[in-house]
Amino acid sequence: MGGLSGTNRLEVIVLTNVASTRVHRMAGIAILAAFGFVLMNFEVPIIPAFPFLKLDGSDVPVLIGTLLYGPVGGVGVAFLRSLVHFVITGGGAVNLVGDFAAFLASCSLALPVGLAVKKQFSWRRLLAGLGVGVIMLTIVMSVVNYFVLIPVYMAVLNFKLGVSLAQYVVAGVVPFNLIKGVLLAVLTAIIARALGGWIQHNRQNGTKQGN
């Protein structure tokens, strides 16, 4: 009496492993988000005509999180990173718009990667996902800048571009996001290459416990 049958013991072990995997997953997402937040503070302008367009490496942890934990995990890293940045920078409507745009940019780049390698991780799938991600990043941010981001900055901050909005998107936003996307993709591929075995092991464990 009071003992567990073999089946019940197995169920307890499985549930314990699942809970442990979820804790490790949440901890990993939080750590990557923290790295992303730190990297947001190191920015470099890459388009001389528009020096306020600055590149940072905060999407690399998002992409690594996507490879480790899937599309939802990558979105989680991006959301936590942007949320922490919004809170620490003092909030406000302008910061909200900027951080939401950064979140959209991260998702645009990371989701194609996550979907490409969701079923099976391979270098062909990873590179294809990164390529599609760069294109999606450029398209989404062009639309967001044209219809949301710059109009809000113009209305609230009296921001002046010096050129038409369309010219800014074509000459600034498009090349900026193409360069940004390619650089982040190359850096992510290098890191993924170095961590390939660990990523594969983590994905296999996550698949076994999560499915």
pLDDT over 70 at 10, yes or no = no
The H or E element that residue 191 is part of is helix 174-194
The H or E element that residue 55 is part of is strand 54-55
* Domain count within the chain: 1
**Does a structural domain hold residue 1?**
no
Q: What pLDDT is attached to residue 197?
A: 76
pLDDT over 90 at 204, yes or no = no
Residue-number span of the structural domain to which 159 is assigned: 7-39+56-210
Q: What is the CATH number of the domain that holds 190?
A: 1.10.1760.20
> Cα separation of 153 and 156, whole Å?
5
**Does a structural domain hold residue 199?**
yes
**Does a structural domain hold residue 101?**
yes
Indicate the pLDDT class of residue 8, thresholds 50, 70 and 90: low
Of the ranges 8-12, 68-72, 125-129, which one carries the lowest mean pLDDT score? Answer: 8-12
Indicate the pLDDT class of residue 5, thresholds 50, 70 and 90: low
Evaluate whether 93 touches 148 at the Cβ level (below 8 Å): no
Q: What is the mean pLDDT of residues 71-91?
A: 96
**Does a structural domain hold residue 46?**
no
pLDDT over 90 at 177, yes or no = yes
> Cα separation of 36 and 178, whole Å?
20
Q: What is the mean pLDDT of residues 39-58?
A: 96
Pairwise pLDDT comparison (64 vs 203), residue with the higher score: 64
Indicate the pLDDT class of residue 149, thresholds 50, 70 and 90: very high
Please state, rounded to an integer, the average pLDDT across all residues of the chain.
88
Q: What pLDDT is attached to residue 14?
A: 41
**Does a structural domain hold residue 2?**
no
Work out the angle between the directed axes of helices 59-88 and 196-210 (0-180°, nearest 10): 70
**Does a structural domain hold residue 17?**
yes
pLDDT over 80 at 57, yes or no = yes
Q: What pLDDT is attached to residue 24?
A: 85
**Does a structural domain hold residue 45?**
no
Please indicate, yes or no, whether the overall pTM of this predicted structure exceeds 0.95: no
Q: What is the mean pLDDT of residues 70-95?
A: 94
Q: What is the mean pLDDT of residues 177-193?
A: 97
**Does a structural domain hold residue 50?**
no
Evaluate whether 192 touches 199 at the Cβ level (below 8 Å): yes
